[in-house]
Structure 1
Amino acid sequence: MKSTGIVRKLDQLGRIVIPKELRSMLNIEIKTPLAILIDGDQIVLEKYQPYSACIITGESSDENLSIANGSIVLSKEGAEKLIQELELKVERQHR
């Protein structure tokens, strides 16, 4: 992770303000939903996307295919690219 050098304190209600510069840089506007994640002892904020992003293209859509109990998400384009790569690998192995 990249350090910003910015330090903020929690207020009495447990809130923290994300500086305007960071919100602008990351295109976070008023009412942008943020997901709160835990990574070890770190709290991570990220823009909430209701649909998981494709592991190949990064596309987030309700049409994405989720397989392997949700651990692999593919868009149509990502699935096509994956199939092409697999076909190439199989073809090379049969030479």
Structure 2
Amino acid sequence: MKPVGVVRKMDQLGRIVLPKSLRKRYEMNEGEPVEILVQGDHIILEKYRPKCSFCSSVENVMEFNERYICKSCIDEVQSFV
């Protein structure tokens, strides 16, 4: 992980503001979901990308019955039918 050199204070509700330059660089727009991950003693923010419920892939994922499934898993399931 590469340090960016930006320090922000958290407000009373635990909120921080991501600098506009970072939001623009990572294409994070207002109202879009952000995923919060914990890795050891690090907190990581990522643009949310739905993952396949079966294989956790984020490539070619579509929603089906309120769950996500990727094209590869759809093809694999269809081969059993």
Query: Normalised by the size of structure 1, how large is the TM-score?
Result: 0.59
Q: Which residue of 1 aligns with 2:35?
A: 35
- Greater Rg by CA: 1
Number of residues paired by the alignment?
66
Q: Which residue of 1 aligns with 2:49?
A: 49
Instruction: Map Cα deviations across residues 19-60 of structure 1 (whole Å, 9 max, x no partner).
Output: 000000000000110011100111101111122463xxx624
Q: Do the aligned partners of 1:36 and 1:43 also contact (CA within 8 Å) in 2? A: yes
Q: Could you tell me which runs of 5 or more consecutive residues in structure 1 were left unpaired when the two chains were aligned.
A: 67-74, 77-95
Q: Could you tell me which runs of 5 or more consecutive residues in structure 2 were left unpaired when the two chains were aligned.
A: 63-68, 76-81
Q: Do the aligned partners of 1:37 and 1:43 also contact (CA within 8 Å) in 2? A: yes
Tell me which protein shows more strand as a share of its residues. 2
Give distance in 2, aligned partners of 1:40 and 1:60. Answer: 30
CA-based RMSD: 2.4
Pairing 1:5–2:8 present? no
The amino acid across from 2:50 in the alignment is P
Using the aligned pairs only, state the percent identity.
Answer: 45
Give distance in 2, aligned partners of 1:10 and 1:23. Answer: 17
Q: Which residue of 2 aligns with 1:14?
A: 14
Query: Normalised by the size of structure 2, how large is the TM-score?
Result: 0.68
Q: Determine helix, strand or coil for the equivalent of 2:36.
A: strand
